[in-house]
Amino acid sequence: MSEATFSVDPLAEARLAIRLFLRAPLAFGGLCLRGGGPARDRVLGELQDGLPPDTPWLRIPGHIDDDRLLGGVDVVASLAAGRPVYQAGLLEQAAGGMILVPMAERLRDDTAGRLAQALDTRERFALVLLDDGIGPDERIPAALSERIAFHCDMSGTTRLDDDAAGGEAAIPLNSVAPCTDEQLALLAGAGLMLGIDSARAMVFATLAARASAACAGRIAVEQADLETAARLVLAPRATRLPPENDDGASPPPPPPSEPGAEDEADRQIRDEPPEDMVLEAALAAIPPDVLEQIRQGQRSRSMRSGGAGKRTKSKLRGKPLGARPGVPGGGAQLALIDTLRTAAPWQPLRKSTALVPREGMDLRKDDLRIRRFEERSPTVTVFCVDASGSAALARLAEAKGAVELILAQAYVKRSEVALIAFRGSAADLLLAPTRSLTRARRALAELPGGGGTPLAAGV
């Protein structure tokens, strides 16, 4: 098997994914657009233009609370009406439409879980996730990535063309016959070779193949549709590459073609096994960053090094997580709105059964709610640099450059850094734990070299 190379146009692939997605948005679950710029704006515009005019299009922030997302009791309206008045959440308002999630890589896990649960139980909306992450660690939550069909990476794409979008001969998706057993086996085999163990990926791939045929006006899935599904659905989910052939050297190039030899070349292409053609299509469309992670063995689920600190619950600061039952005190703060929302439905009953009439709200201990927050525990990255004479000047300069690159990543994650250098006969703390990238770079620049190697002191 030849080594994979990224040989597709990201913008063209994203626009093709939009056309397929529009055949059955709710069945596909959604799509993710990674990378900003005018290219992504154009793709979003084509998506909106392709939807019916009355399709709901709602935008939710990453810090949305459960009451706004799922709905709940409207405190003001309930107090005015004297009875519980429920307010519809965004999920209910988006029935049959789209939910746009900007900066989806920062979406809280609990919010992502709510969306994933709604997709599993209702399937009344589709997600459009905008991924503005920079590094491989900044990705959309796995719970949502698993439940949407298309992942389009347009990072670095600046080209904007005006070629025809196609699809003039499109037919309804339900007019296309299901994939045959042989075609299902081709997609499953390609997924197995790429290390994809998700059943949802196979469902999305077969649906994408039928949508490709529908866009072309065909009532049956063909080989080209299978290759399209492999590029758009299977390639971004790859976790490994197929093993290389044992024969090693590639076959020699064919001799120069003579007049009339085109038919023979076409015949050789047609004679290529269909499973190889599907797999080659997927390999050619693996995004560069995914391909690099696979080559480095980091694509599988593993521990992340140098990441942000562990998430811990807090009573005073951090991201709000909503309220829970509890009594204020010991640092816990009263969630006034949630307390009133809990007590509002019970007011008519409590007033009618009260022995002594009361003015205002009748609050009980069970109504009390306290605020919850989530914060990350601080992390410290300690660099221990060998500044002895054996390190040599050139190697020390390389070490400084490598440390500065890691420092920049630590700065983005808001973690602290410290610097220890060992040379001569002892180890020195050149930089105490700090978040200042400037101080760390200054300490590195002033780091001298020479002397012995007191490794024990450095450790």
Tens of pLDDT, residues 409-418? 666 666 777 7
Give the whole-angstrom CA distance, residue 148 versus residue 99: 13
* Residue with more model confidence, 4 or 373: 373
Arithmetic mean of pLDDT, 76-103: 83
Domain termination site, one of 376, 397, 431: 376
Domain contains 338: yes
Give the pLDDT confidence score for residue 448 in this predicted structure.
Answer: 66
* Amino acid identity for residue 164 in this structure: A
Domain contains 262: no
Arithmetic mean of pLDDT, 198-221: 94
Which pLDDT band, with edges at 50, 70 and 90, does 447 fall under?
low
CATH code (residue 402): 3.40.50.410
Give the whole-angstrom CA distance, residue 442 versus residue 430: 10
Domain contains 265: no
Domain contains 250: no
Which pLDDT band, with edges at 50, 70 and 90, does 50 fall under?
very high
CATH code (residue 97): 3.40.50.300
Tell me the three state secondary structure of residue 306.
coil
Tally Cβ neighbours within 10 Å of residue 246. Answer: 5
pLDDT at residue 84 greater than cutoff 80: no
Residue 214, CB-side half-sphere exposure with 13 Å CA sphere: 22
Are residues 196 and 334 part of one domain? Answer: no
Give the pLDDT confidence score for residue 250 in this predicted structure.
Answer: 45
Are residues 140 and 74 part of one domain? Answer: yes
How far CA 212 is from CA of 47, 169, 275, 367, 381, in Å, comes to 16, 12, 18, 54, 49
Arithmetic mean of pLDDT, 237-249: 69
Helical (H) or strand (E) element with 422: strand 416-423
Q: Cβ neighbours of residue 222 under 8 Å, at least 6 residues apart?
A: 213
Give the whole-angstrom CA distance, residue 275 versus residue 190: 7
Which pLDDT band, with edges at 50, 70 and 90, does 279 fall under?
confident
Structure tokens at 236: 């971004």
pLDDT at residue 376 greater than cutoff 50: yes
Give the pLDDT confidence score for residue 167 in this predicted structure.
Answer: 54
Least confident of 44-53, 66-75, 246-255, 433-442: 246-255
pLDDT at residue 183 greater than cutoff 90: yes
Arithmetic mean of pLDDT, 100-106: 91
Give the whole-angstrom CA distance, residue 219 versus residue 226: 14
Give the pLDDT confidence score for residue 451 in this predicted structure.
Answer: 57
Domain contains 255: no
Closest CA to 120 of 30, 233, 180: 30
Give the pLDDT confidence score for residue 455 in this predicted structure.
Answer: 52
Are residues 326 and 182 part of one domain? Answer: no
Which pLDDT band, with edges at 50, 70 and 90, does 176 fall under?
very high
Give the pLDDT confidence score for residue 26 in this predicted structure.
Answer: 93
Give the pLDDT confidence score for residue 56 in this predicted structure.
Answer: 92
Are residues 185 and 64 part of one domain? Answer: yes
- E strands, 354-399, where? 369-376, 380-386
What would the DSSP string read from start to end of 53-105? Answer: TT--EEE--TT--HHHHHEEE-HHHHHHHTS--EEE-HHHHTTTSEEEETTGG
Are residues 184 and 150 part of one domain? Answer: yes
pLDDT at residue 25 greater than cutoff 90: yes
* Residue with more model confidence, 235 or 374: 235
* Residue with more model confidence, 16 or 434: 16
Q: Kindly report whether the global pTM for this prediction surpasses the value 0.75.
A: no
Structural domain count of the chain: 3
Are residues 449 and 412 part of one domain? Answer: yes
Task: Give the chain's mean pLDDT.
Answer: 77
pLDDT at residue 247 greater than cutoff 50: no
Arithmetic mean of pLDDT, 351-368: 81
Percentage of the chain surpassing pLDDT 70?
A: 71
Are residues 157 and 38 part of one domain? Answer: yes
pLDDT at residue 253 greater than cutoff 70: no
Structural domain range at position 384? 380-458
Arithmetic mean of pLDDT, 167-176: 82
Domain contains 4: no
pLDDT at residue 22 greater than cutoff 60: yes
Closest CA to 98 of 143, 47, 173: 47
Which pLDDT band, with edges at 50, 70 and 90, does 244 fall under?
low
Which pLDDT band, with edges at 50, 70 and 90, does 258 fall under?
low
Tens of pLDDT, residues 109-155? 888 999 999 998 865 899 999 998 876 667 889 899 999 999 998 87
Least confident of 99-103, 227-231, 319-323: 319-323
Which pLDDT band, with edges at 50, 70 and 90, does 166 fall under?
low
Give the whole-angstrom CA distance, residue 28 versus residue 1: 31
Are residues 232 and 178 part of one domain? Answer: yes
Domain contains 305: no
Are residues 315 and 208 part of one domain? Answer: no
Are residues 170 and 44 part of one domain? Answer: yes
Are residues 205 and 82 part of one domain? Answer: yes
